[in-house]
Amino acid sequence: MVISDKETVSGLVQKALEEKLPDLSKNMLDVAGTTTLRALGLKEQVEEIGRIAAGIEAGGAVGKTSWGLVSDLARQDYLCTGLCSVAVCCETLAAVSRIAPIPYRMKIYVGCKVVSRGVMTFRNLCKNAKGELTPC
């Protein structure tokens, strides 16, 4: 049976929905609720993994910049030592912001990482200049 009249098709669909709507709506709500719960649980797990990964990365950066600080201090390069000190403080604050539940922690993390990367880039360029720049 082929129905070509749009109004007839629409009426049949409407009638079928009206007859099955209570069962259909209950099933759809059950599916939507279950899917939402699963999605929220997955989101929380992904966020937790992200926090842990960012904390581990920041912890590694604290160690790396601390090593730079100690080696610069041993060379008596006080400019690079000061830059490394700033980077160590930023990396420590970034690590704490990812672990501790504080307000604006993502903004703090990103801000600290940007400052740390910028300072360490300048420090590395300055260290490798070998007297070609006035302050280095």
Domain ranges of the chain: 7-129
- CA-only gyration radius of the chain, Å: 30
Q: For residues 56 and 50, give the distance between their C-alpha atoms in angstroms, rounded to a whole number.
A: 10
Report mean pLDDT in 10-residue bins for the chain, 136 residues. Answer: 59 63 58 58 75 83 90 88 93 87 88 94 84 63
Residue 78's pLDDT is what?
87
pLDDT on residue 87: 94
Residues in CB range of 61: below 8 A, 6 or more apart: 91, 94, 95, 116
Q: Residue 10 is encoded by which pair of tokens?
A: 């629409």
Query: What pLDDT, on a 0 to 100 scale, did the predictor assign at position 117?
Result: 93
- pLDDT at position 13 is 64
CA dist., res. 13 & res. 17, Å (int)? 6
So what's the pLDDT on residue 37?
Answer: 53
Q: Among positive and negative, which fits the CA dihedral 6, 10, 11, 16?
A: positive
Q: At what angle do helices 105-129 and 78-99 cross, to 10 degrees?
A: 160
DSSP 75: T
pLDDT of residue 88: 94
At residue 31, the pLDDT reads: 57
Residue appearing with tokens 């209950």: 26
Q: What is the structure's pLDDT at 14? A: 61
